[in-house]
Chains A and B, each alone.
Chain A
């Protein structure tokens, strides 16, 4: 009985912990993004609130909270209110299956740094990550505005197109490991990282991951220039903040997945595992920001042809090559 109680207790603690981490991490990430943006453009970025603008995200949060919450007259009100919440749920669900490290001993009990080690972990992650489309497309539809609808439709087509190469690029890793559990995949990389065996798979995953996270150069769904920021054109205040939060959590998810699948997760010499994990994830988050302020946006037809004519054949070839080497 006590054992069951402790298990449930640990589960609740872990769920609350991960939720808090995911809700709070975008706060420093927005600061970091603005700093990186500034310094790449020879500016300083936020400097006035707090030391080097560290408290700027909090000021932004207060601003968004106190802003007018505007709902367009012709909007579908229920869906308009529901869409930001729907978009926020899937990124949180993904982290149910994401491990952050090996077992640790807490209060004299061994517990894993993950909520659930699923047999089908990777498949679950892709299935749940696919739900992310709904928030965006419903938000675009409910706003009843042409820019929002166009953004939603673009985003929908983009996410569906890039989910396919994303899924196929992971296939090589699954074939190497023989398991879809992320724990097994990380354990298999304790000697050599998967990126050595799977450079093509890594490349496809990275590009498709950027497209899934809707970051530049694939941020057509929210192209400020031609769509007036796309599906969240009509959103303001806290609802808009929900969409921003989603975007950052998805970016974080993609970085975490890259690290777990191709860069050996928490494996690394000298430093404790969790530090390695944070360092690697941080590097990829920084890479995304670096891309954002370097590359211009792709045109829509270019986006589609990259997805279908370049990434999909590449990922299929990767599966074939991996199969030949394994056989």
Chain B
């Protein structure tokens, strides 16, 4: 009961703030509402008994990604967005088609779709006994070690690419 109320509060707030992100014209405010949205989502993760994911959500997205957004917005000095400037003439009729289609798709999936994956051995009692963080770590470093390493390698390549892109050419 309490959980359901909490879910609807956090869910509603996250939807509301997500809408505010796109309806704000000032990019700085958009970023702030994005922060609020991320925090609501983190709260939903807590409700799903995954505090580790919630903390990582706050740590990575709120603590780093959006801060970098803000950094870029402030350095580039983006002015308040003018609505018409960024919309091409042909966009609106297409949008009228696509948006209801997407909403319908999401709605259909929410109502009819299979929203529950099988938990496998990770029942609630198991997670409480062992701790969700520990089990996540164990799975990540045993069963899924190969994809994990591939992802880290990918990130490393991206990092090196960024460094090479920003390096000054004329030095050598």
Contacts and interface: CB of A to CB of B under 8 A. Distances in A.
So, do A and B actually touch in the complex, CB under 8 Å? yes
Interface of A: 76, 79, 118-120, 123-124, 126-128, 130-131, 133-134, 137-138, 141, 149, 152-153, 156-157, 159-160, 163, 180
Interface string B11-34: 000000000000000001100100
Contacts of A137: 67, 70-71, 74
A73 B32 CA distance: 22
Contacts of B29: 79
9 contacts: A119-B52, A120-B133, A127-B55, A127-B56, A127-B58, A130-B58, A130-B59, A133-B67, A138-B32
B75 interface: yes
Interface of B: 28-29, 32, 35, 51-52, 55-56, 58-59, 62-64, 67-68, 70-71, 74-75, 131-133
Given A120-B52, A123-B59, A153-B74, 17 more contacts: A79-B32, A119-B52, A119-B133, A120-B133, A124-B51, A127-B55, A127-B56, A130-B63, A134-B32, A137-B74, A141-B70, A149-B74, A152-B74, A153-B75, A156-B71, A160-B67, A163-B64
A149 to B, nearest CB: 7
A152 B51 CA distance: 31
B74 A120 contact: no
Contacts of A123: 52, 55-56, 59
Nearest to A164: B64
A130 B55 contact: no
B28 A160 contact: no
Interface centre among B28, B35, B51, B74, by most chain A C-beta atoms within 10 angstroms, is B74
Contacts of B71: 137, 153, 156-157
A141 B58 contact: no
A134 B64 CA distance: 11
A141 B74 contact: yes
A76 B70 CA distance: 15
B62 A156 contact: no
Contact of A126 (B52, B59, B131): B59
B28 A141 contact: yes
B63 A131 contact: yes
B16 to A, nearest CB: 18
Contacts of B70: 137, 141, 156
A134 B58 contact: no
Contact of A120 (B32, B55, B64, B68): B55
Nearest to A152: B74
A156 B32 CA distance: 15
A163 to B, nearest CB: 7
Q: Which 4 A-B pairs have the closest CB atoms?
A: A130-B63, A127-B59, A127-B58, A123-B55
A133 B69 CA distance: 13
Given A123-B56, A131-B58, A131-B62, A118 B67 contact: no
A107 B25 CA distance: 55
A133 B63 contact: yes
A134 B56 CA distance: 17
Contacts of A120: 51-52, 55, 133
Given A137-B74, A153-B74, A130 B28 contact: no
Given A123-B56, A130-B62, A180 B74 contact: no
Contacts of B62: 127, 130-131
Contacts of B52: 119-120, 123
Contacts of B58: 127-128, 130-131
